[in-house]
Structures are given as C-alpha cells and as structure tokens.
Copies of this chain bind each other. A is one copy, B any other.
Amino acid sequence: MGEPIAKYDVFQAISDPTRRKMLRLLADAEMPITAISGHFPMSRTAVSKHLRILSEAGLVKERRVGRENRFRLSAEPLRELQEWYSYFERFWDNKLAALQRYVESED
C-alpha cells in the first residue's frame, strides 16, 4: 500500500518551541542524542521523544553509528509550511514573494 499515515505532521512538529530549537541546532551539525540533550533543560528521554516526533514528521533523519544514534536536519518537509502560508502573503502585499513563486513555479 501507500505511505503509512504519519502520526505527526509538520505543523504539529514545529508547534513546540523545544523542537524548533532542535531543528536549528541540527541544521549545522549531525549530533547524537546525548550531545543534543546537553542543549536542553530536560531529561535525555524527553529529548529523545521530541526527536521521535520530528522524525515522524520527516524533519530529521537518524543514522546509527556504533552505539550512537546521530540526527541531522531534513528540511524538505518545511516546504509544506511555505505552501500553506504563501496563500496569505497577499495580505501583507509582498510583491517580491509573489514574483518569486511565479518564477519558480514555471517548470
């Protein structure tokens, strides 16, 4: 059959400030859970759960290296976010954004 229905979509995944910070953190470096955990005032388990949610939304990829589980950003699903809000851009008269979409949509 098709794709398994993902429990978490992008909108839900980024609704939590901790997870938004995680995405920023993982944008520039691949990191194992313990290292990531050092950046947040919560247990490693809690961090792990957030990463699981981000993973289900496709926003991070994991790779097993020895006993470590290294995570890195996978930004592509964020495009859905852009698609959604682009509908509203006309309300702040963003001419250049409109132009950009127009130019890039001709394929």
A-to-B contact residues, CB < 8 Å: 11-12, 14-17, 20, 23-24, 27, 73, 75-76, 78-79, 81-82, 84-85, 87-89, 91-92, 94, 96-97, 99-100, 103-104
Which residue in B20, B73, B75, B87 is a CB contact (below 8 Å) of A24?
B87
Residue of B nearest to A98 (CB): B100
Tell me the complex Cα distance, A25–B23, Å. Answer: 31
Contact in complex: A81, B81 (CB < 8 Å): yes
Tell me the complex Cα distance, A69–B89, Å. Answer: 26
Tell me the complex Cα distance, A26–B85, Å. Answer: 14
Residue of B nearest to A73 (CB): B91
Tell me the complex Cα distance, A20–B85, Å. Answer: 10
Known: A11-B15, A81-B85, A84-B20. A91 touches B104 (CB 8 A): no
